[in-house]
Amino acid sequence: MTTTTETYGVDPTPTPLALLLLGREADPNSERGVECPGDLPAASDPDLVERARAAKAKLGDRVFILGHHYQRDEVIEFADVTGDSFKLARDAAARPEAEYIVFCGVHFMAESADILTSSAQQVVLPDLAAGCSMADMATAEQVAECWDVLTEAGIADVTVPVSYMNSSADIKAFTGKHGGTICTSSNAQRALEWAYEQGQKVLFLPDQHLGRNTAVRDMGFSLDDCVLYNPHKPKGGLTTEQLRDAKMILWRGHCSVHGRFSLDSVNDVRARIPGVTVLVHPECKHEVVSAADMVGSTEYIIKALDAAAPGSKWAIGTELNLVRRLAKAHPDKEIVFLDRAVCFCSTMNRIDLPHLVWALESLVEGRVPNVITVDPQTEKYAKAALDRMLALP
């Protein structure tokens, strides 16, 4: 993945996980290892599709395969359900009869699935290196320190944490413990409305863009109502006065994929394709979202294109696997990727057919590989925050 310069600030250094695109070494700064125990089938094996089919058929109802919209086609083909992170969390919770949940997505999604499923079920992530650089941008220690800063400023009592689904179980637990909720890109506005009924300020973690875009674009806040808390600076780089005046305290995190889209990408596509509708994900920068015609989660993007008139023209600002699939599914519409540069989520892409075959065949052989487990104490509070989200009107 590439880092970009942006108006609201990004870390100039890529996360260690982002550098482990193809490697098999360990990541010292993450809880996730990147070794795949056992032998992976070769990607060139011509029988992979047949092997995946056979293993899935042998497992029958014992296995339930979830596929996020950013997964590769070769993996999506085997998913029992596909969805955005909100839909997949609900789908996982609604399958108590499946012994194994194979999560084709990233680590924080598999953790959420473990939290929302029963202790009799096991969640498998086919490649443990499928993390999320955004989730890694907020650690439990940094967030605890931030809360101390808010406490010292005398505002912790009136601040409600709202954490994006794209965060670790520890951050979700922090959120639950402090009376907050989780949100996804499909329900961020409802989550924020709920939070402002509970308190006067919100600490929004870890995606500054989703927080800012929802507050300013959807809820009528001004940019001045928002401040950016930088965990790498003393006291977040903010004065007590700035913290006291703010309604929205945004964590300085971002998505390395959506952060690549720029105002130039929007202007360029409008010049190239007259009449194009620009539709982007709310993880994009505020200036991109402000210049777009429509904004929404992956599920929203899919529905918008399903409902679009034949002959209509679209430029989509989200992950490339999904945009390519949508272009293929709608040959009667012109659908292009918003940016000229290729933009896959490299960690989502780590789940490929060899890893899926390896995971399914291991289950057939009676071994449960790459189990994602959240400890009971973390689970208790993280579940409280997730349950609040699932109960939002």
Write out the residues near ligand SF4 by the rule CB under 6 A. Answer: 70, 106, 132-134, 166, 255-257, 319, 345, 347-348
Contacts of 45 (CB under 8 A, 6+ apart): 51, 354
Residue of 117, 142, 297, 346 interacting with ligand 13P (CB under 6 A): 297
Q: Which stretch binds ligand 13P (CB under 6 A): 25-33, 81-89, 116-124, 224-232?
A: 81-89
Please tell me what DSSP assigns to residue 253.
B
Regarding 122 and contact with ligand 13P (CB under 6 A), the answer is no
Q: Reduce the DSSP state of residue 320 to 3 states and report it.
A: helix
Regarding 298 and contact with ligand 13P (CB under 6 A), the answer is yes
The one of ligand SF4, ligand 13P, none whose footprint includes residue 174, by CB under 5 to 8 A per kind, is none
Regarding 295 and contact with ligand 13P (CB under 6 A), the answer is no
Residues that bind ligand 13P (rule: CB under 6 A) add up to a total of 12
Q: Which stretch binds ligand 13P (CB under 6 A): 39-47, 82-90, 120-128, 145-153?
A: 82-90
**Closest of 93, 98, 106, 64 to residue 81, by C-alpha:** 64
Regarding 339 and contact with ligand 13P (CB under 6 A), the answer is no
- Burial class for 334, CB neighbours closer than 10 Å (0-12, 13-18, 19+): middle
Nearer Cβ to ligand 13P, position 52 or 88?
88
Count of alpha carbons within 13 Å of 331, Cβ hemisphere only?
0
Q: What is the bridge-based pairing of β-strands 313-317 and 334-337?
A: parallel
The one of ligand 13P, ligand SF4, none whose footprint includes residue 265, by CB under 5 to 8 A per kind, is none
The one of ligand 13P, ligand SF4, none whose footprint includes residue 347, by CB under 5 to 8 A per kind, is ligand SF4
Regarding 163 and contact with ligand 13P (CB under 6 A), the answer is no
Regarding 184 and contact with ligand 13P (CB under 6 A), the answer is yes
Residue with tokens 């789940």: 351
Nearer Cβ to ligand SF4, position 255 or 279?
255
| Measured distance CA(100)–CA(123) in Å, rounded | 6
CA distances from 199 to 132, 145, 182, 226, 248 (A): 30, 20, 16, 16, 11
Residue with tokens 């939290």: 115
Nearer Cβ to ligand SF4, position 121 or 166?
166
Note whether 183 and 163 are within 8 A (CB). yes
Smallest gap from Cβ 352 to ligand 13P, in A, equals 17
Structural tokens at position 233: 């600076």
Smallest gap from Cβ 141 to ligand 13P, in A, equals 23
Cα–Cα–Cα angle for 31, 35, 37, nearest 5°?
Answer: 120
Helix, strand, coil shares of the chain as percentages rounded to 5?
Answer: 45, 15, 40
The one of ligand 13P, ligand SF4, none whose footprint includes residue 123, by CB under 5 to 8 A per kind, is none
Regarding 321 and contact with ligand 13P (CB under 6 A), the answer is no
Whats the size of the chain, residue-wise?
393
Nearer Cβ to ligand SF4, position 143 or 348?
348
What is the distance between the terminal CA atoms of the chain, rounded to a whole angstrom? 36
Smallest gap from Cβ 33 to ligand 13P, in A, equals 21
Binding site for ligand 13P (CB under 6 A): 69, 84-86, 132, 166, 184-185, 255, 283, 297-298
